[in-house]
Amino acid sequence: MAKVAPLLYSRPPMERMVRIHGRIKAGEFPNCLQLAEEIEVSPRTIKRDVDFMKARLQMPIQFDARRKGYRYSAPVEQFPAAPITEAELFALLVAHKAVSQYRGTPFAAPLHAAFEKLTAQMNRENPLHLSNLEQALSFHPFAPDDADLATFQVISQAIAEQRALKFDYRKPTAKNTQPRKVNPYHLACVDNRWYMVGHDLARHALRTFSLARMRRPTLLAATFERPKDFKIETYLKGSFGIYTGQDDFEVVVDFDPWAAVLIRERQWHPTQQIQELANGALRLTLRLSNLPEIERWILSWGAHATVVRPETLRVSIRKIVDELSTRYETAMPARTTISAESLPLFT
């Protein structure tokens, strides 16, 4: 029977090359056999890595026949970045602009520092460098969350170490905070607001908490095992935003031609179905587990949206419209009509 070579653990190429660089820079004159044994790959793999470092990264590597190992023929201060494609550069640009949306918040400084570390070694001679494209893309978040960085860090640590967490929490309609103990499972950013999803130990159920309404989060010694079947996608399946419910609603909304143009351009929910109606209008159908978030969204469209069903949503919006009508009729002697043609429309 032929001898079977042992299976070697293949490290990522960049990790291998950084280790090769470290050995060469230290003046240890490593060769392919030594490096292959240390990194647990084949000598042929090491040879390919060295050839890539010489040809693509333009690193001054030479083989010293007397010392039987590699050396640098010129000083190399740090490991250079790999060549970057236009698509990769644009992806970095998007990430850079996404970081900028947190300017003015506690997250700005650490996010900026992390991004600078990631891009510090980029080839500055690249004509498509970030500095040349910075004016091509921007983000304009609406009312970003005012979450505290220290709170974010404590929760992140609790999730990573699977440790219980205690904090004081204020519900939107409450005047005072209440103590809570939670096994935190996940952090999610939805509509520029940070939320934590976890198992509430007192209520024995999953709950969602806004970081902006949390006070004095503290790590506890108790640890927990995150359920293997927990997936944030499953938890939020019936949500229109972040909050979940136990019901099952078929939400049907008709949009006039003006709003229909904008509705067609976006994926509003994974369950959405669009039915074209006469004169450019459309009908949007969603399957949701709760109604408060979709109610606010429908109201944001004003007279351009009409709820078809469920009836509970129609009644709720009718009550709000009646209340608004009473308020504005009291405050204003005459009602002003705004036509769809007077509203701005994207082209």
CATH value at residue 230: 2.30.30
The answer to the question of residue 323 being in a domain is: yes
Q: What is the CATH number of the domain that holds 311?
A: 3.30.70
Residues 227 and 262 in one domain: no
Residues 228 and 181 in one domain: yes
pLDDT of residue 6: 40
Task: Calculate mean pLDDT across residues 170-184.
Answer: 92
Residues 110 and 169 in one domain: no
Q: What is the CATH number of the domain that holds 18?
A: 1.10.10
What would the pLDDT profile of 53-73 be if each residue is shown by its tens digit?
A: 998 888 999 999 999 999 999
For the entire predicted model, the pTM comes to 0.62
The answer to the question of residue 80 being in a domain is: no
Both tokens of 324, joined, read 């608004």
- Give yes or no for residue 2 having a pLDDT over 50: no
The answer to the question of residue 95 being in a domain is: yes
Residues 229 and 284 in one domain: no
- For a pLDDT cut of 70, what percent of the chain falls above it? 73
The answer to the question of residue 8 being in a domain is: no
* Domains: count for the chain: 4
Gap between the terminal Cα atoms of the chain:
72
pLDDT of residue 301: 95
Question: E-assigned strands of the chain?
Answer: 61-64, 69-72, 163-169, 178-190, 193-200, 205-210, 214-223, 249-255, 273-276, 282-288, 305-309
The full length of the chain comes to 347
Going by pLDDT thresholds of 50, 70 and 90, the confidence category of residue 100 is: low
What would the pLDDT profile of 287-331 be if each residue is shown by its tens digit?
A: 999 999 999 999 999 999 999 999 999 999 999 999 998 888 865
Task: Classify burial at 90, counting beta carbons within 10 Å of its beta carbon; exposed 0-12, middle 13-18, buried 19 or more.
Answer: middle
Residues 323 and 288 in one domain: yes
Residues 120 and 198 in one domain: no
The answer to the question of residue 45 being in a domain is: yes
Give me the domain span that covers residue 278.
249-331
Going by pLDDT thresholds of 50, 70 and 90, the confidence category of residue 193 is: confident
Residues 118 and 97 in one domain: yes
Closest C-alpha among 83, 58, 92 to residue 73: 58
Which residue, of 235, 262, 291, is where some domain finishes? 235
Q: Which residue has the higher pLDDT, 131 or 198?
A: 198
Least confident of 34-38, 190-194, 199-203, 343-347: 343-347
The answer to the question of residue 161 being in a domain is: yes
The answer to the question of residue 142 being in a domain is: no
Residues 117 and 184 in one domain: no
Residues 58 and 103 in one domain: no
The answer to the question of residue 126 being in a domain is: yes
- What is the side-by-side strand order in the sheet with 214-223? 205-210, 193-200, 178-190, 163-169, 214-223
Residues 124 and 158 in one domain: no
Residues 23 and 98 in one domain: no
- Give yes or no for residue 217 having a pLDDT over 80: yes
Going by pLDDT thresholds of 50, 70 and 90, the confidence category of residue 231 is: very high
pLDDT of residue 5: 41
- For a pLDDT cut of 90, what percent of the chain falls above it? 54
Residues 160 and 194 in one domain: yes
- Give yes or no for residue 168 having a pLDDT over 70: yes
